Amino acid sequence: MLSAVPRRIFHTFFRKPPAQRVTAKVPPYIRDQLDSNTDNEQPLPHDFRTVYPEFLPDPRPEWRNRLRERLERNDMLTRRSVVAIPEFYIGSIMAVTVGDRNASDKTNRFVGICISRGGTGLRAWFNLRNVIDHQGLEIMYEMYSPLIRNIEVLRLEKRLDEELLYLRDALPEYSTFPLDMEPELLPEGAPVPINDIKVKLKPRPWHERWERKNLQGVQDLGLPQRFYNKAKLHEKPWEKYDLMMEYRATIPEEEQADIFHEIAPHYQQLESSRRQSKRRLAQTSRY
């Protein structure tokens, strides 16, 4: 049996589970009785989850610690009262100013398109990409880093994909943005526009096998049919029906609601900083 498969590989797939397996246990979430009795719960703004995704903790059970998460949320709100961290999405064009003791005027400003975003709590980060002097550059910023002086959103928009890492393999004009770009203003209350631009990729070799990623924002990849056949073998269409996977990858809805109710008293301040940054944009764009 299985003569074609080398023994070592066979055992990696069919090995016995270890005798003592340590599984992380998270106590089930129980609502605080005092909180649930109060009737003055405000309705939640619907966009909390998309605007402030880093307030939700990492759902991995071995990393959960509800006390630490609460302390982190306090620290995040304190930091947000000092530096306004605006609403942004993958595909938005941003300018970040950081304190840099090696720079000539002790600050360093970088403009770029946000290609990925991640992390939770105080460790939340985002990546900016730009092409300067025909040289592609990416810088990763930690959102709650004390070195950050200012974060501006120059053009607030979304793209068709959840990550724009394919811009590394795209033609440079798709990730080139002038450093002196003017902030563009959206009317008050307007929905975030979705930029449905289709990017043209350079020929292979690429950083990843983009034909397997089901990308929406790229033009026809122009590969031979065998690449798409291979991609078909690797796709996992059953994952969208996997309820356990979804359960493990998300925070329960009741807990999310309580987290956002916890930061709801600060929501006025968050909103005002959001609006202020927009107003500042309006003033700067007038000159």
Partner 1 sequence: MERWGASMKEIERAISPPHEQKKSKPKEGLTGAKERWTEAMNVVPAILRAARCEGSRLHTSSSLRHIQKQTRLRVVDNSELGKSAMLEGRPPRCIHVYNKKGIGRTGDKVLVAIKGQKKQAILTGCHQDQFPLMPKFDSNNIVLVDENGSPLGTRIHVPIPTFLRKKLTEMSRPKGVDYTKILAIATRFV
Residue 71 within binding range of partner 1, rule CB under 8 A: no
* Window of 6-14, 41-49, 216-224, 254-262 that interacts with partner 1 by CB under 8 A: 6-14
- Largest alpha-carbon pair distance within the chain? 77
Smallest gap from residue 184 Cβ to partner 1 (A): 23
Closest to 128 (Cα-Cα) out of 161, 154, 160 = 154
Q: Which of residues 208-227 bind partner 1 (CB under 8 A)?
A: 208
What SS3 state is found at 99?
strand
What SS3 state is found at 50?
helix
Smallest gap from residue 56 Cβ to partner 1 (A): 21
Smallest gap from residue 272 Cβ to partner 1 (A): 28
**Assigned token pair, 95:** 């300018």
d(CA 56, CA 123): 12
Residue 255 within binding range of partner 1, rule CB under 8 A: no
Paired residues of 147 in beta bridges: none
Q: Which of residues 77-136 bind partner 1 (CB under 8 A)?
A: 98, 100-104, 108, 110, 125, 132-136
Query: Pick from 207, 214, 224, 243: which binds partner 1 (CB under 8 A)?
Result: 207
Long-range contact set of residues 132-141: C-beta below 8 Å, sequence gap at least 24: 132/179, 134/172, 136/168, 136/172, 136/175, 137/110, 137/112, 138/112, 138/168, 139/96, 139/110, 139/112, 141/96, 141/98
Residue 171 within binding range of partner 1, rule CB under 8 A: no
* Window of 139-147, 156-164, 191-199, 261-269 that interacts with partner 1 by CB under 8 A: 139-147
Of the two residues 108 and 150, which places its CB atom closer to partner 1 in the complex?
A: 108
Axis crossing angle, helix 66-82 with helix 267-286, rounded to the nearest 10: 30
Residue 59 within binding range of partner 1, rule CB under 8 A: no
Query: Pick from 62, 75, 78, 137: which binds partner 1 (CB under 8 A)?
Result: 137
Of the two residues 142 and 262, which places its CB atom closer to partner 1 in the complex?
A: 142
Cβ 115 vs Cβ 95: under 8 Å: no
Smallest gap from residue 91 Cβ to partner 1 (A): 19
Which spans of this chain sit near partner 1 (rule: CB under 8 A)?
1-6, 9-10, 12-13, 98, 100-104, 108, 110, 125, 132-142, 145, 147, 168, 207-208, 229, 233, 238
